[in-house]
Structure 1
C-alpha cells in the first residue's frame, strides 16, 4: 500500500508541490477564464514549490541525516561515500533512514555486550592464569628456600625436595607448552596431516598409555556393545590421539574409584563418524556446561579435588576438532557422569583395511 512515509524527499517535494499547485492554478484559471493561464500557473507554482521544498529538505534535514551517517560509520567520508551521500542517500525514505539508524543501534548494543563479556572473560582468564602459574612457582620457591636454609645437608630431605621441585618445573613446562599450542591453534596455524585410520585403535592406545593412572583408581575401560566393529576415519591421527588422551585422562581424573570409562563409535551417516567417551564420575553441574571448553575454566568441585593439569585440555580439544571442520559437545549430570563426543570425516578411500580386535 502506497504511503507518504515511504516516499523519498524528492517524491515528497513533488507531492507537496502538486497539492499546492493544482488549487492555485485552477483558481488563477477560473479568474482568467483561460486554460493557458491555468497550465502556465500550474507549471510555475509546481516548479517553484518543488524547488523550495526540496531545498529545505536538503539543507535543513538531509544535511543532518548525512552527519548522522558519518557518525554511524565513524570515519571521514571517502570519495565513494561522498557519492553515496550525494546521490543515493537523498533517494532514501525517512523510514529507510530510521531503519538504518535502528540497525546501527542494535549493532552497537551487541558490540557493547560483546565487549563486556570479553572483559569479564579477560579478567577471569588472567585470574586463572595467575592461579595456574602461582601454585607450582610458590611450591618450587618453598622447596628451594627450605634447602638453602639447611635442609640441603640432609641427603634424604634434599633429594625428596628436589624431586618435588622437578615435578613442579615439569608442570610449568607443560603449562607453557599448552599455552603456546592453544595460541597457535587460535591463530589458525594448525596444519593437519589427514589420513585414514581406525579410530578404535587410537582410543585403545590412548587408554593403554594411561593404564597405570586408571589402575590406581581401579577404573575399567571398554567399548560400548555394538561399537567394537572397526570404523575408519579421515583425520590427523596424532591430533585426534591428543584429543582422545585428554578426554580419557579427564575421565580418570574426575572419575570415581571402581568406576568405568566407555567408548562409543557410530556411523551417523556415510560421511561422518561420531566418537564419544563416557564415564560414571562426579559429573558437571548444568550451569557450568557452557563454559567447560574455555581456557583454564574449572568448576569449584573440580578445583577442590586439587587435580593437577594445565586447565587447557578441553580448550585444545575444541580447537583441534573445529580445525577438522567438526564440533565437540558435552553432556553431564552431577554424580551420574559425563559424556564428551565429537565427529570426524569417515574414510575417504580404501587405502587401508580395518584391523580386527
Structure 2
C-alpha cells in the first residue's frame, strides 16, 4: 500500500496518548503501593507503549479505512476519470467528505438535468402528436367522406379534395419546420455568409406578406425613410426566413387596422439592431421567458384563432444563435410587442 495518499494521524495519536497516560498512571500507582517506584522505568515503559500503540493503531486503522474507502470508490466510481490505485485514494476523512459532497452535488445536478430533459421530451412528443393529429384527421375525414360516395358529386368532390390538399400542405409545412429546427439544434445547417442590404431584405419581406396583412388591414412600414443601404454580414436566406416569421406572427396576433413597424438602429462595435414592433394583443410577463420554446403557446385553451406550426419563434431563436447574435422581446399585454435582434454590420465595401 503506497504511503503517497493523504492520511489522518489524529486518531492513532490520540489513542496512543490516552492509553499511555492510563498505563503510566496505573504503573505509578502500583509502584507507590509496592514500593518500586522508578521514574526511569516508567518513562521508558510509557515511551515504548506510546510508540507501540501508535504504530499498531495507525496500521490497523489505516488498513481498515483504506479498504472501506476503496470499496466506496469502487461502488460509486467517485473518480470516474482515473483508475482506483492505492496512491489515488485518501484516508483523510475531511478530503473524503469533500469528495463525497462533490459527487452527491454532481449527481443531483445530473438527475435534475435528466428530469428536465425527460419532461421536455414528453412535452415535445405530445405537442408533435397533437400538431400532426389535427391535419391528419382532417385529411382522413374528407377522404373517407369521398370514399363513402361523395366523390360521385363533382362539386363536393372538388371542394373536399381542395380541403384535403390544404391539410396536406399544413403537414408538409410542419414537417419542414421540424426538419429545420432539428438541423439548427444539432448544428447541422451550414450558414452561407454574404454581404447584403438589410433594408432591401425587409422590403422583400413586406412584399411577401402584403396580401396577408391586407386581409386584416395591417400596415407594414419602416419607422423612417432609409435612403442609404444598411449592409450586414449574415446568411441572407436565413435572415429572410427570420424576418418572415416575425412579421407573420405580428400579422396573426396584431390588431386589425393596426401597424407593424420595422426600425434599424446602428450600435457600437459594428452591430445593428433590427426591431419589429406592433400594436397588437401583447403578451403578459409570465409567458415571455418561454416564448421561444418549441410548440409553446400563450393561449392554452386549444381554440386557436390562427394556424402555424408553433415552431416559428423557436426557429427564429436558433437562426439568430447560429449567427452568434442575440434576440430580445419586450411586450405589454393589451399594448403590443417588440422583437429585436442584432446582426453584424458590414464594413465599408468599395
> TM-score, normalized by length of structure 2?
0.84
Choose between structure 1 and 2: higher helix proportion: 1
Counterpart Cα distance in 2 of 1:97 and 1:228: 69
The 5 Å alignment of 1:329-348 reads: 329-347=328-346
Give 1:242 deviation, angstroms.
0.9
* Partner of residue 142, structure 1: 141
2:67 corresponds to which of 63, 67, 76: 63
Aligned-partner Cα distance in 1 for 2:273–2:60:
66
Superposition deviation, residue 89 in structure 1: 2.8
Greater Cα shift, 45-54 or 274-283: 45-54
Q: For residues 186 and 208 of structure 1, what CA distance do their matches in structure 2 show?
A: 30
Could you tell me which residue of structure 2 aligns to residue 111 of structure 1?
Answer: 110
Question: Once structures 1 and 2 are overlaid, which stretch shifts more, 50-59 or 183-192?
Answer: 50-59
Post-superposition offset of 1:275: 1.8
Residue in structure 1 matching 2:83, options 76, 81, 84: 81
- Between the aligned partners of 1:329 and 1:72, the Cα distance in structure 2 is 44
Q: Which residue of 2 aligns with 1:355?
A: none
**Secondary structure of the residue that 2:217 maps to in structure 1?**
coil
- Larger Rg over CA atoms: 2
Measure how far apart 1:340 and its partner are.
1.6
| Aligned-partner Cα distance in 2 for 1:225–1:302 | 39
Unaligned 5+ segments in structure 1 are 1-7, 353-357
| Cα distance between partner residues in 2 of 1:14 and 1:346 | 71
CA distance in 1, matches of 2:217, 2:342: 29
Gaps of 5+ in 2: 1-5, 28-36
| Alignment of 1:48 onto 2:47 | no
Give 1:245's aligned residue.
Answer: 244
Match of 1:279 in 2: 278
CA contact (8 A) 1:18 1:46 kept: yes
CA distance in 2, matches of 1:341, 1:303: 28
In the alignment, what sits opposite 1:9? Answer: 7
- Quote the offset at 1:310 in angstroms: 1.3
Q: Secondary structure at the match of 1:9?
A: coil
Partners in 1 of 2:221 and 2:53 — Cα distance? 87
Task: Write out per-residue CA displacement over residues 129-180 of structure 1, whole angstroms, 9 at most, x where no aligned residue.
Answer: 1111111111111111222222222222211111111111111111111111
SS state at 1:81 partner: coil
* Contact 1:288-1:299 at 8 Å conserved across structures: yes
Residues 87 and 316 of structure 1: CA distance in aligned 2, closer, same or farther (over 3 Å): same
SS where residue 184 of structure 1 aligns?
helix
Distance of 1:39 and 1:272 partners within structure 2: 84
Residue 269 of structure 1: aligned partner: 268
1:274-330 Cα offsets, whole Å, 9 max, x none, are: 222121111223222222211111122685333211111111111111111123222
- Aligned equivalents of 1:40 and 1:264: distance in 2? 94
Q: CA deviation at 1:345?
A: 2.1
Instruction: Verify the 8 A CA contact 1:25 1:38 in the aligned structure 2.
Output: no
**1: CA distance, partners of 2:316 / 2:147:** 42
Greater shift in the superposed pair: 309-318 or 337-346: 337-346
The within-5 A match list for 1:118-157 is 118-157=117-156
Change (3 A) 1:236 1:302: farther
Q: What is the distance in 1 between the residues matched to 2:103 and 2:115?
A: 18
TM-score (norm 1): 0.82
CA distance in structure 1 between the aligned counterparts of 2:158 and 2:109, rounded to whole angstroms = 57
How big is the shift at 1:24?
A: 9.2
Asked if the contact 1:196/1:232 (under 8 Å) is kept, the reply is yes
Q: What SS is found at the alignment partner of 1:339? A: strand
Aligned length: 336
Identify the range of structure 1 (111-120 vs 182-191) with the bigger mean alpha-carbon deviation. 111-120
Distance 1:234 1:167, change over 3 A: same
Q: Deviations over 1:81-101 (max 9, x none)?
A: 223xx124326x422322222
